[in-house]
Every structure is written in structure tokens, then in C-alpha cells.
Structure 1
């Protein structure tokens, strides 16, 4: 008997219309520009820009004659229509802060790839891979919040530069899983 399961965990569970949203894939060769931020600024926000990024994740597996084959795809995306800035209040320094948010999402895409590559799954693949995703996604959100808290949304320059270096080093550490 052949068993085939496909799970678009992030796409279906969290953003049902993600496939219809414009997205920019994270790459080492392309940095964000202010032209990428096409959303409407949030009234009353005490910061001048906002990056909406995250991980897209899908997997499938087949099991035939007791042998399981699994495939997965993980990408890091930036969503232009959900990302915004306040004209006249931003700079290249702020843009680099927003790029670092995108880089934090890429870091977690790499962490998830590593976790899946190293995992030994039982017959409960769907639940186990879902748990790996949810843990990694929560860690991603927590790190995004910690970054803004410690840098005071980029106002604390010393912390800002420390965080940029930290994330760059972590991306190098997980380079094998890009």
C-alpha cells in the first residue's frame, strides 16, 4: 500500500492566501531597498518602518514497502505589501535594521532545515515535523522581538551593530543549510 501525504503547514495553517501575496525570496545577493516596502504605514506606530517576513514550509512523504521517502521545501520570504516605512523618516541605517529582520527569518529557515535533516521520524511524521516547525517559528518570533527590544527599534546604535554582527555570524554558522 502506498501512502502519500502533503502538508503545507505554514501556508495553509497561518496564511491561507500567501500564494496570492507578492513575496521576495531571501538571497545573499539581494538586499532590501525602500522600493520593496509597499505597505501603508500603521497610524500611531512609534517606529518608522516595519518588515513582514517569515518562513514558508511544505513537505511530502511516501511510504512504500516499509520504505519512507520525504521531500521538503523551506523558503524565507519578505512580503512587500505588508511591509512599510514612513517617508522622510528613514535612512540607509534604518534599512539595514529592516534587512536584519529579514536575515533573522532566513536564519530560522536554515535552523529548520537542519532540524529536519537531523531528525529521525516515527510513523507520526506529520505531527513531528509540525512540532519542529512550530518550535522554530516561535523561536523566530521571539528573536525578532528581542532584536527590536534590545536595539530599541534601531535607536540603540551599539546594540544595533552588535545584533547585525551576531546575525551575520549565525547565518555563517548555518551556511550548510541555506
Structure 2
């Protein structure tokens, strides 16, 4: 696995301690840390109306990615319960994605966005650049939602130590599969 490789969330994906490749941080109170982000792809098309060219965003796909080379655990704490809690962070990101994907798509689908540029070729290039930027802004909002939900998850489960609360979350996450 190269440093740029990620693990993409699927129904069959379960993290293992060997997936956590970074060095643990002795200065932090955490026993483990997972770096999880969203990646998106999309299609951009253009439409000419009169003398103006507009771009249209379609087919937004969002994936949840775990970054092994940025994620770590303390070897002295590598319990099954802690791994299950870290898997919960990965699953929570998928849950937040599913809860918000339709609204993300609705922000763009069926809408025309003006282009910039001196000629048609420039306008097509800027359409690609500008569409990526505005989708990235919305995905960043989604990542803020995820950050808040992760904090709640850690707090409510006491970082996986509250077995009853962790079990409640585990039941929710099992429904994703």
C-alpha cells in the first residue's frame, strides 16, 4: 500500500489494526485516531443559450475514504472494542453521507451555472474548474457536519468505553450493511 492509498467504505469493508499505519502520538489523550474524508466525482456538461454558455452539474458521486498513513493507535490499547469504535467512525461517515447526499445533489441538479472565459474552449475549462470548486464547498460543509457527529459519537460512547451506548451505535451501523 503506497502512502497515497486509501480504503474506501463498502458494505464489506471492515478496518483492521494493520490498516492504521501512522505513529501514535504520545502527547494526546486519544488511544487511536482515524482520518476519514469524503471524495467526490461528477460530470459537467455545457449548454449554449443564445450567446451564453452555461454549465450543468450531473452524476455527483460521493465516497467515504479512510487514510491509513494518517491513522494510528496505541499498541498497548489494540482491543477489539477500540477497533469496533474506530470502525464506527468509518461507518458514521457513510451514514452522514447517506443522510445528506440527496440534499447535496439537489443543490446542483437541474440548475444552470454561468461560465467565464474569452472563448468556448476557455469556458469549458472554467466550467470544469468552477463546478469542482462549488461542489467542494458543499462537501466541506458535509465534512463539518461529520466532525460534529464524530464529536458527539466519541462523547456519548466515551470513546467506546460506554459499552451500552457503543452497542446502540453498532446497531445503527449494522443497518448500513
Q: Same fold (TM over 0.5)?
A: yes
Shift of 1:123: 2.1
Label 1:74 to 1:157 Cα distance change in 2 as closer, same or farther (>3 A).
same
Q: Aligned partners of 1:77 and 1:86: how far apart in 2? A: 22
1:27-176 aligned at under 5 Å gives the runs 27-66=10-49, 68=56, 70-119=58-107, 120=109, 121-123=111-113, 126=131, 129-169=135-175, 171=176
Q: Aligned partners of 1:132 and 1:37: how far apart in 2? A: 28
Deviation digits for residues 143-172 of structure 1 (CA, Å, limit 9, x no counterpart): 011101111111111111112223444x37
Deviation digits for residues 53-101 of structure 1 (CA, Å, limit 9, x no counterpart): 1111233411123583523332111111111111132211111100010
| TM-score, structure 2 normalization | 0.73
Match of 1:88, SS state, is helix
Label 1:28 to 1:111 Cα distance change in 2 as closer, same or farther (>3 A).
same
Computing the radius of gyration from Cα coordinates, the structure with the larger value is: 2
Contact 1:115–1:132 under 8 Å retained in 2: no
Contact 2:60–2:105 under 8 Å retained in 1: no
Residue segments in structure 2 that go unaligned for 5+ positions in a row: 50-54, 115-129
Alpha-carbon RMSD: 2.6
Aligned residues: 153
Q: Aligned partners of 1:122 and 1:112: how far apart in 2? A: 22
Residue segments in structure 1 that go unaligned for 5+ positions in a row: 1-18, 173-178
Label 1:46 to 1:32 Cα distance change in 2 as closer, same or farther (>3 A).
same
Contact 1:112–1:133 under 8 Å retained in 2: no
